[in-house]
Structures are given as C-alpha cells and as structure tokens.
C-alpha cells in the first residue's frame, strides 16, 4: 500500500512540472514555454485542452515596423501607391489619409501613454505594411517614406528567412485597378506587338501620328501609338492629351469635353522622335466605352514648336480592342 501511494505522489508531481522544467528532461521538444516541431517551426506551448494547434514556420512570418507617435505631434507615412485598407488595433491611436492625397497616412495619439498597439495598411499594389505602434512624447521619426526602405526589407528577410513584409505574395486585392508594376509589364509586352489597326491617325508636316493597336485588360485600356518623322528636324514631344467630346455640335448646343487621364506612358523616357526615324509608345488609361455621338480625341504637342498633331477615335475602334 505504501509503495502504491508513493507512486501516485511521484506521478502527480511530474505532471505538474512547468514547461521550463520539462525542457531538461525532454531535450529539444519543450524549451522556454515553446514547443519545437521542426527545424523552422515554433508554436507556443499550450494546455491539453487545445491539442490541435499547428506550428507556424518562420518563413510564414511577416515582421512589423516599429512606429512612434505622440499626443502633441503628428507622424506622416508616405506609401508608394494608394491606400485601400487601414486597420488600427485600439482607439488609443487615430489615423487617416491626409487629404487630398491617397498615399499619405497621418497618425496621432488619441490618448496620452496608450498601450502598444498595431496598425496595418494595404495599398492598391497588394503590398502589406504592418506596424507596431508605441507612445513617445518626443518621436524620433515624424516623416517616413516607405519606398526608401526596400533595401532594408530585402536584407532583413534574407537574414531571417522570413517573408518580406511588403511583398504582395498571398494578398489578393479584389475589384481594384491594376497596380503600377502590372501596368508597366503589360505596356512593355504591347510595345513589341505587331500593328493590327490601320488608317486611324493623321499625317501632317511630314509627320505621321497613328494608332496601331488597342488592348484591354480588366478595367484598363491600352493604346499603341506610332510616330514617323520623315523630316530632317527632330520632333521633341511636350505633352499628350486625351479627350472624350461630342462628335457634332451645333451653335445652339452646349459643347461637352472631358479629359481622360493617362495613368501610364511607356517608355516614359522617350520624348523625341528623331529625324527620319520612328517611335512607338503605349498609353494606359481607365476603360470606358462611349456612344456613337462621342469621339475620343488624341493630341500631341511639340515642345517649342508648332507641329501639333491630333486625331479622333470612334467607338467602333475601341470595341475592336484585343484582350491580354
């Protein structure tokens, strides 16, 4: 009977040992309150009431950026593209976009000495920016440009084996326009495609300014435009304009004209059509269809010159756009 009681006492003592003491007897399985489940996997040690937690690999972790703000000073963060999502962990911090910009976030303490909290921003490119926010009466950094932190992000990810926090991997942005990188990549592909639209454009003063292709991807329209300069004088481009306007307007009717903003020009560096040479450019803009009573007018202006060129684009040409 005594032996039985002694055995029960020893068993109950062993069961109640904390995880830190178990580490000495179970080698690598339990250490400092954590259970190692593989080379790069760590999961917090839990009671037997939660037996189905899976390990989280270090390669799955996105680290957070440290951020300080105060009650009397505002911190501003500039992101490379438009902010489409913002989450603040507590009401101790207030944050919103700095009007009229869409990519600048202003952050301030709503309560003095608030407890550490989180802040997460997602941009239209699908990039993810997590922050760990702490209170400081005198923040060391008040203006931060996240585009300037790319090299440090890459270096940290390589050293730790973790995911670079701003990578768009695994993040799907629904119902949004293309990111700047996607527009650039598609424009580069279109630049080298063969011409399939003819006789849309203008020829004037030994210059031709012609539409050679129309493409569409999701909600973005791409125009492939080719210049030919048959003169001995270089043509330096000043700027382009795209308008949606009424086709025929009588004197008694109000004239309506709406400018269509081009979101990208590729290649952006080429602003000269050399003499006896040619140049092809690709323009990206928001997709829009229009009726037979309207036309799109495309204009180009010569820098310090008078060879301004323009042509009109009917709706039947737009609907011939090829998919990408």
What does the pLDDT read at residue 243?
Answer: 84
Determine which of 87-101, 112-126, 155-169, 213-227 has the lowest per-residue pLDDT on average: 155-169
What does the pLDDT read at residue 292?
Answer: 78
What does the pLDDT read at residue 137?
Answer: 93
Instruction: Give me the torsion for CA of 19, 23, 29, 35, rounded to 10°.
Output: 40
Whether pLDDT at 203 is above 50: yes
What does the pLDDT read at residue 63?
Answer: 77
Whether pLDDT at 57 is above 70: yes
For 171-198, what is each residue's pLDDT tens digit? 655 545 677 788 889 999 999 999 999 9
CATH of domain 65-160: 2.60.40.1550
Start and end residues for every CATH 2.60.40.1550 domain found in the chain? 65-160
Rounded to whole angstroms, how far apart are CA atoms 229 and 240? 17
Between 81 and 249, whose confidence is greater? Answer: 81
188 and 221 Cβ atoms separated by less than 8 Å = no
Determine which of 109-118, 156-165, 247-256 has the lowest per-residue pLDDT on average: 247-256
Start and end residues for every CATH 2.60.40.1150 domain found in the chain? 183-323
Query: For residue 154, what are its two tokens?
Result: 């890459």
What does the pLDDT read at residue 20?
Answer: 38
Within its chain, how far is the Cα of 305 from the centroid? 38
CATH of domain 183-323: 2.60.40.1150
Sorted by sequence, the CB contacts under 8 Å of residue 183 that are 6+ apart come out as 220, 263, 264, 284
N- to C-terminal Cα separation, the chain: 84
Band of pLDDT at residue 30, cut at 50, 70 and 90: very low
Between 213 and 170, whose confidence is greater? Answer: 213
Rounded to whole angstroms, how far apart are CA atoms 237 and 227? 11
Around Cβ 193, how many Cβ atoms within 10 Å? 16
For 103-153, what is each residue's pLDDT tens digit? 899 999 999 999 999 999 888 777 888 899 999 999 999 998 987 877 777
């Amino acid at each position: 009977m005594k032996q039985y009681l002694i055995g029960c006492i020893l068993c109950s003592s062993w069961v109640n040992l904390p995880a830190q003491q178990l580490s000495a007897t179970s080698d690598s399985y339990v250490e400092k309150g954590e259970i190692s489940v593989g080379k790069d996997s760590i999961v917090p040690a839990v009671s037997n009431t939660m037996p189905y937690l899976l390990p989280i690999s270090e390669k799955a972790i996105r680290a957070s950026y440290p951020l300080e703000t105060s009650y009397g000073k505002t911190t501003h963060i500039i992101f490379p593209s438009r902010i489409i999502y913002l989450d603040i962990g507590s009401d101790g911090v207030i944050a919103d976009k700095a009007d009229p910009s869409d990519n600048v976030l202003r952050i301030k303490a709503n309560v003095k000495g608030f407890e550490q909290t989180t802040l997460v921003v997602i941009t239209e490119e699908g990039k993810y920016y997590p922050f760990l926010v702490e209170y400081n009466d005198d923040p060391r950094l008040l203006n931060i440009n996240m585009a300037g932190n790319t090299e440090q992000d890459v270096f940290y990810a390589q050293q730790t084996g973790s995911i670079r926090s701003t990578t768009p991997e695994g993040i799907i942005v629904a119902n949004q326009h293309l990111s700047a990188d996607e527009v650039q990549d598609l424009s580069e592909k279109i630049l080298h495609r063969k011409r399939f639209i003819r006789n849309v454009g203008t020829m004037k003063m030994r210059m031709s300014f012609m539409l050679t292709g129309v493409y569409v991807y999701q909600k973005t329209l791409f125009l492939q435009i080719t210049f030919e300069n048959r003169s001995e004088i270089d043509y330096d481009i000043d700027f382009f304009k795209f308008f949606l306007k009424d086709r025929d307007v009588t004197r008694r009717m109000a004239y309506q004209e709406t400018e269509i903003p081009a979101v990208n020009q590729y290649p952006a560096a080429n602003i000269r059509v050399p003499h006896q040479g040619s140049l092809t450019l690709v323009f990206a803009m928001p997709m829009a269809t229009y009726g037979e009573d309207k036309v799109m007018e495309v204009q180009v202006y010569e820098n310090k010159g008078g060879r301004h060129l323009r042509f009109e684009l009917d709706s039947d040409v737009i609907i011939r756009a090829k998919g990408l």
